[in-house]
């Protein structure tokens, strides 16, 4: 790999069934066409998974991936992608996490790790540069994530070793079990922890000692200085300090309340009257520490300790904005100590806070509407704001006890089992419970949720340019007046142009997730764009194509479309690009978005045109796939009758 920087140039495959592993060269064409991270995951899983396999079967792959910038100087270069076929949804599964593990994988000499098979007993994977060993983890099985991190340190005799671990929820195959890193950081969505649990894989522990080559160090250092200056000087510094740097993601509680899209009462409304009790300012009273992911200028991570009341002595990283909604506003709880405690339970058990909270809000609503009785749900009497119920259900779901066994399957499966009209109140897309946004008060996120390749989530396509008045001016500066007006950037309630805007955003985020760097800096605040990333990648890797903004954008489109094709191969088409009737038929009852619904079809038509999807089926068109260099993908979809045109 002479002349290529940034990449380790090789990857590790492990088969837990046979106990064997092998190291392979990372294809240079993948570097050029898929960049790394999510791009590598998409290509690898497309090539190695057969459609229709059980996500919890040994044939599935759990993929831990880095990107070319991982472990280098630059903005937030410590992020890791964990990808697989998702147990919760049965389609593309992907989750990202910060911390320090991703650089350690790169320093050990691997661009990614792909694990398949199933061990006969609980094990963990120990990687120490070239030394790869499958070790017994029987003494770790049943332990919380916090306990597991400490046991790994004891086993290897080194508390600097970095790990990805699962908790009891992953062991019990809770379909929304997560993967924890650095005690408090979660690869949360779609059930990656359940995939590890299905393989009897308790953890992946890594120690690395290698360096990373830089193709052109002088040029690289100049670019990094410019990138650093953007985040730490001038107007962007003030915005970052007043928002994400000053408060972390809880800052968003106030922002979302101000525009009426703070999900409340199972997404019934976007206004929570007691928002001030759980916002970033409120959390300052219990903030005790500050932590950062690897090489991050924004440093949005805070640690909190409840020092009084019923939940005194609870210590945890977070809660982040999404947890404050899913375990707070959306179940009508404003007790900050209770939310912190619930968030900590999810971390210790290893469960996604978003899905866990949204299952509970669904249960509260269907009980309130008389669609279920106490007998249907194990004698429970769910009521809005019931802290005891939330805590009890988190324990039950993680342990699969009583009604928790059904709820551990996710809200959609639970509703289908119960019936009685309860499915209507599962706020989801493609089986993934919705993250903390509401398209009625911000139209582009309504579309982004509907078309997201992993389900109702914001991190693949949420546009922030049209959220707030102060952000609009940056869109005009970045895109120019004509293009900004085409997307109607200055009106978040106008669906016009939002199909194009979402397509553009998804392509860019695909590059962010493949480099990999953090969305905070690319999404909120929107400091960086292709004109920052292309010079960075070229100087680092020496690959000319990655230094072209146009070709980088094309790579982003290729990466996104390959994940869309993955879902198509599983039989998922247009019927899944939809929203709950709550958003399309029930006008927002109050707040800045009062009276609004999501006009999905008009946005979807425009989006399909740019994404290259057939309007009748939602299948990718051959012409678009071939334009993106995915001819082999087109041929496979054609053989299955799932190709547009």
Q: Looking at residue 2, what is its pLDDT?
A: 47
What pLDDT, in 10s, does the model give residues 277-307? 999 999 999 999 988 999 998 899 999 999 9
Q: For residue 31, name the pLDDT band (cuts at 50, 70, 90).
A: very high
> What is the CA 99 to chain-centroid distance, rounded?
14
pLDDT at 37 over 80: yes
CA distance between the termini of the chain: 40
Contacts of 388 (CB under 8 A, 6+ apart): none
Average pLDDT over residues 127-135: 98
DSSP assignment string, 428-496: EETTEEP-S--TTSSHHHHHHHHH-TTSS-STTT---TTTSHHHHHHHHHHH-HHHHHHTTTT-TT--T
Confidence of residue 376 (pLDDT cuts 50, 70, 90): very high
- Element of type H or E holding 186: strand 185-187
pLDDT at 1: 41
- The pTM (predicted TM-score) of the whole model is 0.97
Over the range 404-419, which residues count as b (16 or more CB within 10 Å of their CB) and which as e? bbbbbbbbbbbbeebe
Q: DSSP string of 387-440?
A: HHHHHHHHHHHHHT-THHHHHTT-HHHHHHHH-TTGGGG--EETTEEP-S--TT
What pLDDT was estimated at residue 222?
Answer: 97
Which pLDDT tens digit goes with each residue over 323-375?
999 999 999 999 999 999 999 999 999 999 999 999 999 999 999 999 999 99
Phi, psi of 316 (to 5 degrees): -160, 155
Mean pLDDT of 408-414: 98
**How remote is the C-alpha of 302 from its chain's centroid?**
19
Q: What is the 3-state secondary structure (H, E, C) of 96-154?
A: EECCCHHHHHHHCCCCEEEEECCCCCCEEEEEECCEEEEEECCCCCCCCHHHHHHHHHH
Q: Which residue has the tokens 């009106």?
A: 491
pLDDT tens column, 59-96:
999 999 999 999 999 999 999 999 999 999 999 999 99
Q: Give the least confident one: 141-155, 233-247, 631-645.
A: 233-247
Task: Report which of 429, 467, 487, 424 is spatially closest to residue 593, judged by C-alpha positions.
Answer: 467
Set out the domains of the chain in order of their start, with CATH numbers. Answer: 10-207 (3.60.9.10), 256-425 (1.10.569.10), 443-457+460-518+548-639 (1.10.599.10)
- Average pLDDT of the chain, as a whole number: 97
Residue 305 has what pLDDT? 97
* 583-611 average pLDDT score: 98
Spatial distance between the Cα atoms of 397 and 459, rounded to a whole number of angstroms: 25
pLDDT given at position 470: 83
Residue 439: pLDDT above 60?
yes
- For residue 287, the SS3 value is strand
When pLDDT is averaged across residues 378-383 and rounded to a whole number, the result is 96
Containing 205, the helix (H) or strand (E) segment is strand 201-207
306: Cβ contacts below 8 Å, ≥ 6 apart: 286, 312, 313, 314, 315, 336, 337, 340, 341
pLDDT number for residue 3: 55
Residues 6+ apart with CB under 8 A from 301: 98, 184, 185, 248, 290, 291, 292, 293, 317
Mean predicted confidence (pLDDT) in 161-174:
98
Neighbours of 193 (CB within 10 A): 37
**Phi and psi for 136 in degrees, rounded to 5?**
-65, 135
What integer pLDDT is reported at residue 298 of this predicted model? 87
Kind of pairing between the strands at 131-136 and 123-128: antiparallel
Report how far residue 77's alpha carbon sits from residue 75's, in angstroms, rounded to the nearest whole number: 6
Query: Which structure tokens are listed for 43?
Result: 């290509």
Query: How far, in whole angstroms, is CA 316 from its chain's centroid?
Result: 20
> What Cα–Cα distance (Å) separates residue 290 from each residue in 24, 187, 248?
39, 20, 10
> Edge to edge, what strands does the sheet with 185-187 contain?
131-136, 123-128, 201-207, 162-165, 179-181, 185-187
Question: Hey, what are 422's tokens?
Answer: 């309860």
| Integer Cα distance of 12 and 145 in angstroms | 25
What is the pLDDT averaged over residues 214-239? Answer: 94
Range 278-282 contact pairs with CB under 8 angstroms and sequence separation of 24 or more? 278/250, 278/253, 278/324, 278/328, 278/329, 278/334, 278/336, 278/339, 279/250, 279/251, 279/253, 279/254, 280/246, 280/247, 280/248, 280/250, 280/251, 280/253, 280/254, 281/247, 282/336
Q: What is the largest CA-CA distance in the chain?
A: 69
pLDDT higher than threshold 90 for residue 448: yes
Half-sphere exposure in the Cβ direction for 552 (13 Å, CA):
24
């Amino acid at each position: 790999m002479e002349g290529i920087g940034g990449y380790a140039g090789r990857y590790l495959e492990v088969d837990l069934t046979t106990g064997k592993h092998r190291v392979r060269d990372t294809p240079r064409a993948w570097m050029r066409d898929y960049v790394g991270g999510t791009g590598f995951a998409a290509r690898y899983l497309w090539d190695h998974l057969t459609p229709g396999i059980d996500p919890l079967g040994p044939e599935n792959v759990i993929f831990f991936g880095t990107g070319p910038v991982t472990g280098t100087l630059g903005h937030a270069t410590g992020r890791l992608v964990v990808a697989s076929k998702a147990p919760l949804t049965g389609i593309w599964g992907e989750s990202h996490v910060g911390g320090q593990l991703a650089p350690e994988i790169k320093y050990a000499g691997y661009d990614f790790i792909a694990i398949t098979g199933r061990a006969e007993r609980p094990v963990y994977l120990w990687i120490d540069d070239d030394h790869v060993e499958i070790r017994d983890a029987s003494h770790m099985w049943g332990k919380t994530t916090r306990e597991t991190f400490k046991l790994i340190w004891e086993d290897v005799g080194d508390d600097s070793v970095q790990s990805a671990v699962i908790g009891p929820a992953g062991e019990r195959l809770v379909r929304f079990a997560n993967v924890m890193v650095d005690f408090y950081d979660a690869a949360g969505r779609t059930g990656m922890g359940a995939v590890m649990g299905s393989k009897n894989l308790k953890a992946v522990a890594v120690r690395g000692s290698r360096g990373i080559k830089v193709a052109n160090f002088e040029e690289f250092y100049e670019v990094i200085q410019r990138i650093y200056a953007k985040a730490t000087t001038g107007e962007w510094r003030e915005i970052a300090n007043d928002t994400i740097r000053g408060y972390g993601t809880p800052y968003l509680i106030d922002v979302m309340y101000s525009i009426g899209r703070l999900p409340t009462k199972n997404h019934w409304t976007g206004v929570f009257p007691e928002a001030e009790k759980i916002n970033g300012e409120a959390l300052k009273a219990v903030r005790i520490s500050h932590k950062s992911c690897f090489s991050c200028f924004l440093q949005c991570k805070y640690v909190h300790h409840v020092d009084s009341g019923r939940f005194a002595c609870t210590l945890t990283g977070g809660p982040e904005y999404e947890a404050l909604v899913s375990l707070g506003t959306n179940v009508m709880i404003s007790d900050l100590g209770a939310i912190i405690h619930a968030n900590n339970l999810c971390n210790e058990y290893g469960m996604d806070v978003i899905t866990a909270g949204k299952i509970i809000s669904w249960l509260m609503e269907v009980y309130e509407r008389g669609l279920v009785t106490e007998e249907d749900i194990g004698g429970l009497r769910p009521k809005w704001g019931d802290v005891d119920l939330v805590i009890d259900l988190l324990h039950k779901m993680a342990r699969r006890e009583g009604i928790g066994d059904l709820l551990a399957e996710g809200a959609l499966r639970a509703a289908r089992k119960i019936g009685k009209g309860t499915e209507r109140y599962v706020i989801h897309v493609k089986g993934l419970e919705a993250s903390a946004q509401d398209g009625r008060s911000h139209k582009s996120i309504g579309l982004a949720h509907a078309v997201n390749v992993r389900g109702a989530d914001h991190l693949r396509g949420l546009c922030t340019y049209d959220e707030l008045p102060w952000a609009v001016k940056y869109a005009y500066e970045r895109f120019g007046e004509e293009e900004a007006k085409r997307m109607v950037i200055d009106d978040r309630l106008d669906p016009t142009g939002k199909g194009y805007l979402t397509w553009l955003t998804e392509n860019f985020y695909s590059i962010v997730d493949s480099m990999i760097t953090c969305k905070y800096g690319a999404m909120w605040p929107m400091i960086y764009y292709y004109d920052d990333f292309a010079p960075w990648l070229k100087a680092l890797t020496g690959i000319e194509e990655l230094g072209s903004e146009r070709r980088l954008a094309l790579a982003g489109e290729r990466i996104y479309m390959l994940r869309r094709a993955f879902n198509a191969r599983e039989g998922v088409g247009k019927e899944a690009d939809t929203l709950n009737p709550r958003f399309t038929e029930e006008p927002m009852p109050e707040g800045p978005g009062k009276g609004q619904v999501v006009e999905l079809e008009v946005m979807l038509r425009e989006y399909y045109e740019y994404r290259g999807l057939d309007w009748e089926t939602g299948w990718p068109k051959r012409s678009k796939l071939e334009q993106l260099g995915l001819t082999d993908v087109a041929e496979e979809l054609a053989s299955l009758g799932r190709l547009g045109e």
